[in-house]
Amino acid sequence: MTDSGERSAIFYYIVGAVQYEELKNIPTLYLPLTVPVHWTALYFVGDFYPMTNLPTILSGDGFKANGRPLIDNEIQLCRQFLRENFVPLKTKTRGSYGLKHVVENAVKTYISNGALIAAAILEGYKYEQDGINAHIYCRQKQKWETRRRSGFVWWLLTRKFKDSPAKDLQEDVKWDIEQGFDGVSYRDLRDRISSVPRDTSAALDALKEVYKLYRNR
């Protein structure tokens, strides 16, 4: 017999309405006919990761059958880090083992090679297996890509300008951000340009024209 807590969890599993966070502390559920179901089988919708989405030989040790188990908390930390700091590419650029150390340095805790690979797969990154490791098709975001996504400066950074004074201004702002500029408004950027000890009239003219586009969007 199941107790009321287990029956409740089974019900929510069937209707697909329960949050994984509410189930992960339940070690084993018993469905009718006394079939045991471990909670890892309940990853099925939303931010859960269906086990069928991951290679069957993937373990905490990477592509190694019967290796250490994947740890959900490590995977979630990697997924968040990738979302905030990396973007997908069409070519392979980073090895999983090296990238997992980047995550460890950022989150200050151990991350397994397999957890990093699993996170990349679940976030939709292309990958290529290389022994127990993987090559991940990704690149690190530039500093401007991690900024707060609002305000005139963010709008300017995300426009697709052809070769023009506006395009030159956009590239200058990206460089300024790498040097520490953190302004968000037209006034912030105007003051930044005006503070440069050289002739900035062309840049200020370009700024005015771009700001008109922003106001009329």
**Domain-wise residue ranges, the chain:** 4-42, 51-140, 143-215
Quote the pLDDT of residue 27. 43
Quote the pLDDT of residue 52. 52
CA nearest 51: which of 26, 32, 27, 70?
70
Do residues 183 and 192 lie in contact, with contact meaning Cβ atoms separated by under 8 Å? yes
Mean pLDDT of 153-165: 86
pTM of the model: 0.55
What is the distance between the alpha carbons of residues 77 and 110, in angstroms, rounded to a whole number? 10
Residue pLDDT, tens place only, 31-71: 343 344 343 443 333 344 444 579 999 999 999 999 999 99
Mean pLDDT of the chain: 78
Model confidence at 13: pLDDT above 90:
no
pLDDT band at 205 (very low <50, low <70, confident <90, very high): very high
Q: If DSSP states are collapsed to H, E and C, what string results for 59-104? A: ECCEECCCCCCCCHHHHHHHHHHHHHHEEECCCCCEEHHHHHHHHH
Model confidence at 128: pLDDT above 50:
yes
Model confidence at 201: pLDDT above 50:
yes
Amino acid at 198: R
Cβ contacts of 45 within 8 Å, gap of 6 or more? 16
